[in-house]
Amino acid sequence: MASAESNVDKLCRRAKQAIEQRDWNRARQAYLQALGINADLPDVHYGLATVYFHLRDLASAGRHFREVTRVDPLRASAYINLGAVCNVLGQYDDAVAALRRGIQLDPNRTEGYYNLGLVYRRMGQLDMAVQAYREALKLNPRMADAHLNLANIYFEKGQFRPAVLHYEEALGLRADWDKAKDGLAQAREALAAEEKVAAAHPAPPDVSVHVDPDRHRAYLINLHQATVDSDEELVRCHRVLEKELEPAIKELSSALLYRHHPSSELEECVDKFEAAIDNLRAAHQKFQGHMAKLRTLEEQYPR
């Protein structure tokens, strides 16, 4: 056993030396030999996935990042890298799932939110992409690529003022960036044209109906109660996720990872996980019911 571990260590050192020399094929051979000795080494799978990425063999890189998540299911970076690879391969649903799991394990990983923005942009879900890039910039306001991508989305959505602001932020970080310069010029031109049209056609005065607290008392009471109920149910959903589902996932992952656990303990972990899922599903259904009531009340708004 000690000899096998020693051989694995030697092969890993050989692989790392090859990586330093950018000899990717020699590094790949060394890692593969190490896996031939022990196929359940997460660091070796991680190193091999990185090597395959540099060799532009993305399918193999993704396969070995998946192996890392199997052997070490709490390693956030493996999920985030897996998500980035799946995105390039066009496997968008898998990419979103992997990135969200990585962010759940480590909410402070800027690259997790950034890559999630890339995926949502490719999927055409622009609002979700905007949200992801904003989260990335909260963690790292100096991330120029996030500013540029966010500016591009705002421009595409016709929101030229925030587009201008983020192009300017990108150029403040990388002054000679041609993509940001071109985007800023186009956004400023579009904003100027929009403001010119707005000046020529001022908005009509606000003639919205004033809700009378006396005449619409019943409506306002129902609206308030529906809002309170929706908020309480949403809080419950978050509580189930945080207090029940996340601990259940961690316990189940640990029981599956370390096979010396007795079968009775694994069954108990499965039961906890299933109970948490049932509770989350019930809370979500109630939340949807309250939201449906709010939509109905919106349709009944006094006109």
Which CATH class name applies to 2-200? mainly alpha
- CB neighbourhood size of 299 (10 A): 6
Give 51-101 pLDDT, tens digit per residue.
Answer: 999 999 999 999 999 999 999 999 999 999 999 999 999 999 999 999 999
Please tell me the predicted confidence (pLDDT) of residue 272. 84
How far, in Å, CA of 265 to CA of 260, rounded? 10
Q: Is residue 301's pLDDT more than 80?
A: no
Q: Which long-range contacts (CB under 8 A, 24 or more apart) does 213-216 make?
A: 215/302, 216/302
Fill in the DSSP letter of residue 174. S
Query: CB within 8 A of 247, min separation 6: which ones?
Result: 272
Q: Is residue 296's pLDDT more than 80?
A: no
Domain positions in the chain are: 2-200, 217-299
Alpha-carbon torsion (275, 276, 280, 281), positive or negative: negative
Q: What is the pTM of this model?
A: 0.65
Average pLDDT value for the chain: 87
